Structure 1
Amino acid sequence: MNSRKTTRAQKAEPPTATFAQSVRAKQASKLLGVGLSTFWRWAKERPDFPKPRHLSPRCTIFDVDELLAWRDAQQVIA
């Protein structure tokens, strides 16, 4: 008889590739290399900045692919 207990994490299915990777604002600001205040200012003031997705009133996420595409578009060719 197997006496090992199965945890909730073991029962969960791995995420599928159909969902885009998302991050919270703190992680997104680190990804872009700016402070959290600067990140939120950009989200508010820049019309070309990736739009946030609100999962709940206190949980906002950003799509990683959109953030990286926006960052790459900001680079100036010297």
Structure 2
Amino acid sequence: MVQHTPPRKTLRIGASAKKLDIGVSTVWLKINTEPDFPRPFKLGPRTTVFFEDELDAYLERCAAKSRQADAQKIIAQSPHVIDLCVQAKPVPDPADSCATMPSFPEAPKR
């Protein structure tokens, strides 16, 4: 029994840019400057395409890196947040607020 793999879907540069939510010129910039950016290939002299699943994998890698960086920022800021909580003064009990309010002189009688 022969198993057939489904054909991989391709996207042209404009559709790839739209999928990544960036401009076409930014796609070309990433092709030329980012080693981990998916490599396009030529179907003809004027037709360049990407495999869509490679773009999906790139998006997943970007999301994972971003989430990891966000988590590290939160962890790095945690000691400061804990310090602020420890240094914070307790909120006075509303029932005792009248006892701690300053007294004002009585208004003159007319």
TM-score normalized by the length of structure 1: 0.74
Alignment of 1:1-78 (within 5 A): 18-75=6-63, 76-77=66-67, 78=70
Of Structure 1 and Structure 2, the greater helix share is in: 2
* Cα-to-partner distance string for 1:12-49 (whole Å, 9 max, x where unaligned): xxxx8621010100000000000111011001111111
Q: CA RMSD in A?
A: 1.4
CA distance in 1, matches of 2:56, 2:20: 8
Where does the alignment leave 5 or more consecutive residues of structure 1 unmatched? 1-15
Length-normalised TM-score, structure 2: 0.54
- Give the greater-gyration-radius structure (CA): 2
- Larger % of strand: which? 1
Measured after TM superposition, the shift of residue 53 of structure 1 is 1.3
1:20 alignment partner, SS class: coil
Moved over 6 A (4+): none
* Equivalent position SS for 2:49: strand
Distance in 1, matches of 2:45 and 2:33, equals 20
Count of aligned residue pairs for this structure pair: 63
- Larger RCO (alpha carbons 8 Å, 6+ apart): 1
SS of the equivalent of 2:48 reads strand
